[in-house]
Chain A
Amino acid sequence: MSTEYKPNSKLDPNAKFADNERLKTQSNYLRGTIEADLKDPLTGGFTADNFQLIRFHGMYQQDDRDIRPERAKQKLEPLHNVMLRARMPGGIIKPSQWLAIDKFAEEKSMYGSIRLTTRQTFQFHGVLKPNIKEMHQMLNSVGIDSIATAGDVNRNVLCTTNPVESQLHQEAYEWATKISEHLLPHTKAYAEIWLNGEKTETTEEPILGSTYLPRKFKTTVTIPPNNEVDVHANDLNFVAIADNGKLVGFNVLVGGGLAMTHGDVNTYPRKADDFGFIPLEHTLKIAEHVVSVQRDWGNRVNRKNAKTKYTLDTFGADAFKAEVQKRAGVEFEPSRPYEFTHRGDRFGWVEGIDGKHHLTLFIENGRILDYPGKPLKTGCRKIAQIHQGDFRMTANQNLIIAGVPADQKATIEQLAREHGLINDEHTVQRKNSMACVALPTCPLAMAEAERYLPELVTQVEGLLDKHGVADDSIILRVVGCPNGCGRAMLAEIGLVGKGLGKYNVYLGGNREGTRVPKLYLENVGEDVYLPALDELIGQWVQERQSDECFGDFVIRKGIVAEVKVSKTDFHA
């Protein structure tokens, strides 16, 4: 029960809480006055607290930033709309569900796209207020919701998509779903507001607490050796430990996270700490109490210091772990060995141990839309119309057509090729590059990301080609702001938006995603960082040891210092 535990005594009981705490407190368990806003015909937006509260229901209010100044002159409010992020634990979606979301995106969203994201789910962009309830009801009718995919809660739970080890994946996936459901808010606000559900009174939130968490909270279930989900970008990770292909338990990694604030050295990306191994039966209890300790110990005064990673650094990982053990009544065992070797998706066909076939498609920027000569959305729809297995959205924003029987392989491949979903000309570099959404819809973006990535990749491809390593690649990620969605803070080359056309360039992550990169160039444009990358790539090609990756090379050569302990090293 939420009342059982006291805040950590180190927290100042008299400190003034952040305003978000007030709004959560006054929200009547996330209801606010959202329903009144839905009926307000004067604005396409949400007012005051509701602007924040809808996030707990999986939506962000956004607007088309490209035309914001134009509309101001037109005496029109910004073109308010919402982005919806679905809750899809492990990223698995059935063909019937796909057809439903495809139809909605086409008919009722401004951009018409299905955007696959780094949280292994899809987003609708540009849904106008009058269509919001219909959207939720459509999702509900096919068994999807968007509860707690944003806001100060445990968000969509990731799970490695690994389709090869079918049985292990199935078990891991089931845990991802169970954890997601166990940590969901108990309030019925979502159903009441969006699904016209019966009005009920909520009196408590047994796990999250009546004021929910201090900050967003991200969880994964991971099957090594693939670190597709980027454990170090997450607050809580269950790293699957198998014995003879059978899942026996998890190593629990706590306190990863990439978000930071430009110019604030008290914020930094941080890797997760390994708390140790737990057998399967304790999974939910441990999940619950990592959350409950963060709930009670997390900083509710300063939101920039509120994530689990800072709680660990404030109180010490050992103290945090001890409190989790005490509350859960479970001792962590020593960590079991595991290894991450890569993060990328394995494109093309693979056969699982169950004899089913799986086709991984590279989706540039995760944006599924009909482009001229590249009708990706139509292709996915046609595949969904005949596909007998399921789709899996990867944490790298790609799509797997999973569980294809042998006799359907040819048909599906043909459809994929006809609609540009398979393009043999895509380089490895392109497939290892990623961007967040950024402009024009994301209100936080300071610079382009998704719209800039294809062109930047072409530039980097040119550099690789120039130095004679056209088939090699560097993990390249571009994000519009330092909040972490595109996980640039685990890239070999990470560009973080500072202003239009200006980025901070970070170097030195590795292929496995176990090292945070470090600032190399600050607030620079292409004219500065492309020549710099040209020189560094040239140097790397000349001087690297065997197949040393770019990120390892720049660390070994001291081009940037290695970030070992983020709190002390990242800004040093």
Chain B
Amino acid sequence: MLLSQLSAAASPLTQEQVQKLQGLVAELNPIQQAWVSGYLAANANSAALAGGAGTQAAAVEAAPLTILYGSQTGNAKAVASQLKAQAESRGLSVKLVNMADYKTSALKKEKFLAIAVSTYGEGEPPEDAEALHAFLASKKAPKLEGVKVAVIGLGDTSYEFFCQTAKDFEQRLTNLGADVVYQRAELDVDYEELATQWIAGALDVFEPELKSQQDAATNVVSMPSAVASASSQYTKQNPFAAELSVVQKITGRDSTKDVRHVEISLDGSDIRYLPGDSLGVYFLNDEALVDEVLELLAIADDTKVTVAGESIAVRDALIEKLELTQSYPGFVEKYSQATNNAQLQALVEDKAALREYIEARQIFDVIKQNPAAIDAQSLVDCCRKLQARLYSIASSQTEVEDEVHLTVGLVEFDAFGEKHFGGCSGYLANRAQEGAKVKVFSEHNDNFRLPANDDTPVIMVGPGTGIAPFRAFLQERDAREAAGENWLFFGNPHFTQDFLYQVEIQGYVKSGLLSKVDLAFSRDQAEKIYVQDRLREKGAEVFAWLEKGAHFYVCGDATRMAKDVHQALIDIIKAHGGKDDEQAEQYLKDLRSQNRYQKDVY
């Protein structure tokens, strides 16, 4: 929403407040506006946590449709927002709340609940959903008889436990007595169309009862975070064609890893981001591979196909529109049917074997290893829409203004006698020329934010490309001359080759911005040393920092590192805080509920 269109009627502000805000905004440049938006968001978040927001209390009595979302990459949140907008347009009373901010004590007052939740890793809830997910299965959970529930799940079919968290929520709510009034949706990464359909269907079910209950005033409460995220016309659906200005390898020539520092110009867009946000990047598939596939399948380049209602040459569709690297079961299933491949069909029946099969292959490989007579449209129909890849932003706009920086690990591996590259990282590192246009959008992540108070110390654990958001944090804290101490834990295989942003970090140590740095180069000595080992070594001090209010951030690998760091924290809290396992877990839960333990893991 543009501020010029803002009116008291369409916002929770009074006319006087609207005028004041318009007056202030007129004086601010876009970067200042972005900063203010973040400031207000953080401010409102902490106020809400302290139980301060008066508007929220007023909303509770009205028994609106409460939309709870638990999002990891922003998809569930986007669906939830869309649900809210659709409900409002039908004149329904709705309340949109991040599960992380939801007070479980409010549960027993709910009458209508919509759940939008994603699943990540091996069937785990996103971090924001963890507490509520656990609470619903605990003995403390209240009876929910008569509560009407609908659940929409988001996930990725390339993972084994697809939409597991959505299933869990529905099951747990049902166990507490709630009624499922609309069939659960389980949506893959190209969820948009089906989500729209599900929202319409679910609202059709909720609408009559909700309307009949509407005796109170309309209670629409926007979450404060909406202020920060409503800023750009460029979105996932409408990305900005940005200039790729720098792609620089930042690992040494003898490194086993190829990590690129990428700089993209946002000049000409109104995209604003905050440290902690991610950038969605659309990419082009490898033309050489597309040509190879077309030749193999004897499909002419210029054969017209229809993709999402648009007529396009098959070669262009395969390069620009469709997913050809990240494999998932659905493709194998559709392709096996379209090509009548008995072997593949048998594979589809064996979940474990299929999972192993797709883990070892990109979609290109599946096609190349199973050439068949297939027409262009059928091939295209087997593929799902190409999904933007999200990268944690490695810069702060207070420092780089119109640019956005990323730290991209090039995915590369040898298989079937050929070099394979990740779709987007391969595009950025190998195929895109500097100066090329790349379609991007910013994805807000209010669950990974610097403390609102600049005096608060922060501990940042970011091995490998997990350093990215902390480069943004450091730039931001530097520009803000934040007085709070900063402590960085970084790790990678080798000091001489893999010390990402070494010279910058040395500079920050010298200037005093970084109060402490602990490094774990796992392969520089006989025994492997990781960031969690460094954390344990400094356990007493880490605990002391937590006790004095430090925020603790983790970014990077979700499957191992983040878990190992979590365990290290538990051990530290036990050892230095004199707590048992349960108390230590509670300590971390409390940190999390105070937004002082935040993760950006993938």
A-to-B contact residues, CB < 8 Å = 41-44, 67, 70-77, 79, 128, 130
User: Does the CB pair B505–A74 fall under 8 Å?
Assistant: no
Q: Which of B250, B509, B518, B524 contacts A76 (CB 8 A)?
A: B250
Bound-state CA distance A265–B505 (Å) is: 44
User: Does the CB pair B250–A74 fall under 8 Å?
Assistant: yes
User: Does the CB pair A74–B248 fall under 8 Å?
Assistant: yes
Q: Which of A43, A71, A130 contacts B252 (CB 8 A)?
A: A71
Q: Which of B500, B504, B519 contacts A41 (CB 8 A)?
A: B519
User: Does the CB pair B496–A128 fall under 8 Å?
Assistant: yes
Which of A41, A42, A75 has the most chain B CB within a 10 Å cutoff? A75
User: Does the CB pair B506–A77 fall under 8 Å?
Assistant: yes
| B474-509 interface bits toward A, Cβ cutoff 8 Å, 1 = contact, 0 = none | 000000000000000000000111011111111001
What B residues does A76 contact at CB under 8 A?
A: 250, 252, 496-497, 499, 502-503
Closest to A72 in B: B503
Additional 17 contacts, C-beta under 8 A, given A41-B495, A74-B248, A130-B525: A41-B517, A41-B518, A41-B519, A67-B252, A72-B503, A74-B249, A74-B251, A75-B250, A75-B261, A75-B504, A76-B252, A76-B496, A76-B502, A76-B503, A77-B502, A77-B506, A130-B524
B303 → A minimal CB distance (Å):
44
User: Does the CB pair B503–A70 fall under 8 Å?
Assistant: no
User: Does the CB pair B519–A75 fall under 8 Å?
Assistant: no
Closest to B510 in A: A42
What A residues does B500 contact at CB under 8 A?
A: 75
Q: Which of A67, A73, A75, A130 contacts B502 (CB 8 A)?
A: A75
User: Does the CB pair B517–A75 fall under 8 Å?
Assistant: no
A111 → B minimal CB distance (Å):
13
Q: Is B253 located at the chain interface by the 8 A CB criterion?
A: yes
User: Does the CB pair B503–A75 fall under 8 Å?
Assistant: yes
What B residues does A128 contact at CB under 8 A?
A: 495-496
User: Does the CB pair B503–A77 fall under 8 Å?
Assistant: yes
B538 → A minimal CB distance (Å):
13
A535 → B minimal CB distance (Å):
43
Closest to B501 in A: A75
Bound-state CA distance A155–B500 (Å) is: 40
Closest to A79 in B: B496
Bound-state CA distance A67–B253 (Å) is: 9
User: Does the CB pair A43–B506 fall under 8 Å?
Assistant: yes
What A residues does B251 contact at CB under 8 A?
A: 74
Closest to A110 in B: B496
Closest to A80 in B: B496
What A residues does B525 contact at CB under 8 A?
A: 130
| B247-269 interface bits toward A, Cβ cutoff 8 Å, 1 = contact, 0 = none | 01111110000000100000000
What B residues does A71 contact at CB under 8 A?
A: 252
Which of A43, A71, A74, A128 has the most chain B CB within a 10 Å cutoff? A74
What A residues does B517 contact at CB under 8 A?
A: 41-42
B403 → A minimal CB distance (Å):
16
What A residues does B509 contact at CB under 8 A?
A: 42
B258 → A minimal CB distance (Å):
11
B489 → A minimal CB distance (Å):
12
B394 → A minimal CB distance (Å):
12
What A residues does B497 contact at CB under 8 A?
A: 76
What A residues does B518 contact at CB under 8 A?
A: 41
Bound-state CA distance A41–B488 (Å) is: 13
User: Does the CB pair B503–A44 fall under 8 Å?
Assistant: no
User: Does the CB pair B496–A74 fall under 8 Å?
Assistant: no
17 A-B residue pairings within 8 Å (CB atoms): A41-B495, A41-B519, A42-B505, A42-B519, A44-B496, A67-B252, A72-B503, A73-B248, A74-B248, A75-B250, A75-B261, A76-B496, A76-B499, A77-B502, A77-B503, A130-B495, A130-B525
Bound-state CA distance A77–B504 (Å) is: 10
Closest to A67 in B: B253
Bound-state CA distance A72–B251 (Å) is: 11
User: Does the CB pair A44–B252 fall under 8 Å?
Assistant: no
User: Does the CB pair A44–B504 fall under 8 Å?
Assistant: no
A48 → B minimal CB distance (Å):
12
What A residues does B496 contact at CB under 8 A?
A: 44, 76, 79, 128
* B236-251 interface (Cβ within 8 A of A): 248-251
Closest to B504 in A: A75
Bound-state CA distance A41–B518 (Å) is: 8
Bound-state CA distance A67–B249 (Å) is: 14
What B residues does A73 contact at CB under 8 A?
A: 248
User: Does the CB pair B502–A79 fall under 8 Å?
Assistant: no
Bound-state CA distance A77–B500 (Å) is: 11
What B residues does A77 contact at CB under 8 A?
A: 502-503, 506
A542 → B minimal CB distance (Å):
51
Given A42-B517, A130-B524, residue A79 in contact with residue B252 (CB < 8 A): yes
Which of B496, B499, B509 has the most chain A CB within a 10 Å cutoff? B496
Bound-state CA distance A71–B498 (Å) is: 11
Bound-state CA distance A390–B525 (Å) is: 35
Which 3 residue pairs across A and B have the least CB separation, nearest first?
Answer: A41-B519, A74-B250, A75-B503
Given A42-B509, A44-B495, A44-B496, residue A70 in contact with residue B253 (CB < 8 A): yes
A287 → B minimal CB distance (Å):
42
Bound-state CA distance A41–B499 (Å) is: 11
A178 → B minimal CB distance (Å):
41
Bound-state CA distance A536–B249 (Å) is: 50
A175 → B minimal CB distance (Å):
43
Closest to A42 in B: B506
Bound-state CA distance A41–B529 (Å) is: 14
B508 → A minimal CB distance (Å):
10
A417 → B minimal CB distance (Å):
35
